[in-house]
A = this chain, B = another copy of it.
Amino acid sequence: MHLEKLAKVGGAWLRGSGPDSDIVISARVRLARNLKGHRFLTRADDEDRQAVAGKIRAAIGRAGLGDIAYVDLTDVSSLDRMLLVERHLISKELAGCEGECGVAFGPSETHSLMINEEDHLRIQVLKPGQALTEAFEEAMDMDANLEKHLEYAFSSQFGYLTVCPTNVGTGLRASIMLHLPALVFMKQIDKVFQAVSKINLAVRGLYGEGTQATGDFYQISNQVTLGRTEEELIEDLLRIVPKIAGYERRSRELWMKEDRVLLEDRVFRALGMLQHARKIASEETLDHLSAVRMGVNMGLVEGMDMQRLNELLVLTLPAHLQKGEGEELPAADRDIVRARLIRDRLKPSRG
């Protein structure tokens, strides 16, 4: 299993570039599917779970999905499960699964197939930047290939059948992760959320459903899955994201115009803390990384490699730190290791 090396480098979805990559971190599409003739997991026993996993793993093997490896989560420590969550390869729900469950993903980590999460199968594509259409197409491709070898629970009236009624129909959840520090600072973020919810989109935190938005990072995703086509749902998101990015950009300009010193003070103090702290908690790290990321994107901080910075968003998380050190560590020790890692990665450039 290749989990060890994961702790050393950030996920591919952090390597965003191109239009709006200053604000749009990543795009994600996931499809929820269940197998016909098998009970939903809410009512399944061990035997059912094993049968489902066996069928899906066989289909993955036959579907020609490329270089993809299966991680049986029953074999894996809770630390490794948390590592997979931190990389967005599995959901928190799957990390807590009991009985047969697992995930298949390739070395690029952009495509993952969760088995026995809430539904029998969750197909996920996570792409850096504004690549929602690409993610959608690749997810649909995977789905079509798998469907050649699997019979999905499908109703001609409702569409794909899922455990939770909010997923019935397309089974599609599309989301975009956005970095919105200026809207937060300007106290405009609630207005954005209100506008977003009016068009049936939801706002979530960095780690999906039920998690808090932290460090100015937000996921916008569709609420509705039923009664509209997949393409329409994707269109909704593709229409709103550039608008939110535009609001964020205008807020940055306004902040720069109204109080450039405060803006710079915030950005550079954050950089100073990251470069100098000898112990630092996750939340403080995320706050500072957010400020510095904005500073780099606004051209205030020079000589800072954006990918190194983005990768810290993941590498400083608890499981990554512990995998990196090769041992489980209490929170106080993680704070020390985290500070050291950040200092190593953000050494002031000499020139």
- 1/0 per residue, CB under 8 A from B, across A237-277: the answer is 00000000000000000000000011011001101110111
Q: Which residues in B have their C-beta under 8 angstroms from that of A264?
A: 278
Chain B residues contacting A265 (CB-CB under 8 Å) are 277-279, 339
Q: Is A186 an interface residue (CB 8 A)?
A: no
B350 touches A261 (CB 8 A): no
Bound Cα distance A350, B348 (Å)? 9
- Residues on B with beta carbons closer than 8 Å to the beta carbon of A271: 276
A350, B351: Cα distance in complex, Å: 8
Assuming A348-B348, A350-B350, is B276 touching A261 (CB within 8 A)?
Answer: no
CB–CB B278/A261 < 8 A: yes
**Minimum CB distance partner of A343 in chain B:** B268
Q: Which residues of B lie under 8 Å from residue A339 when comparing CB positions?
A: 265
Chain A: interface residue count, which band? 10 to 19
Q: A195 in the interface, Cβ–Cβ < 8 Å? A: no
Nearest residue in B to A339 (C-beta to C-beta)? Answer: B265
- Residues of B contacting A268 in the complex (Cβ-Cβ under 8 angstroms): 276-278
For A277, the chain B residues whose CB sits under 8 A away are 265, 268-269, 272
**CA distance in complex: A265, B336 (Å):** 9
Which 7 A-B residue pairings sit nearest by Cβ, starting from the closest? A272-B276, A272-B272, A265-B278, A268-B276, A264-B278, A350-B350, A265-B279
How many copies make up the complex? 2
Chain A residues near B (Cβ < 8 Å): 261-262, 264-265, 268-269, 271-273, 275-279, 336, 339, 348, 350
Q: Which residue of B lies closest to A351 (CB)?
A: B350
Closest to A264 in B: B278
Residue of B nearest to A265 (CB): B278
Q: Please give me the residue from chain B that is nearest to A262 by CB atom.
A: B279
CB distance from A295 to the nearest CB of B (A): 11
**With A261-B336, A350-B350 known to touch, is A275 a contact of B272 (CB < 8 Å)?**
yes
- Smallest CB–CB gap between A288 and chain B, Å? 11
The answer on a CB contact under 8 Å between B279 and A273 is: no
Chain B residues with CB below 8 A from A350, complex form: 350
Complex-state Cα separation, A269 to B275, whole angstroms: 9
Chain B nearest Cβ from A298, distance in angstroms? 14
Q: How far is the CA of A52 from the CA of B89 in the complex (A)?
A: 86
Sample of 17 more A-B contacts, CB < 8 Å, known A265-B278, A269-B278: A261-B279, A262-B279, A265-B277, A265-B339, A268-B276, A268-B277, A268-B278, A269-B272, A269-B273, A269-B276, A269-B277, A271-B276, A272-B272, A272-B275, A272-B277, A348-B348, A350-B350
On chain B, the residues within 8 Å of A336 by CB distance are: 261
Closest to A273 in B: B272
**Shortest CB–CB separation between residue A340 and chain B, in angstroms?**
10
Q: How far is the CA of A163 from the CA of B279 in the complex (A)?
A: 55
- Complex CA gap A261/B332 in Å reads 10
Nearest chain-B residue to A333 (Cβ)?
A: B261
How distant is the Cα of A275 from the Cα of B265 in the complex, in angstroms?
11
| Max chain B Cβ within 10 angstroms of own Cβ: one of A264, A278, A350 | A278
Report Cα–Cα, A278/B348, bound state, in Å. Answer: 17
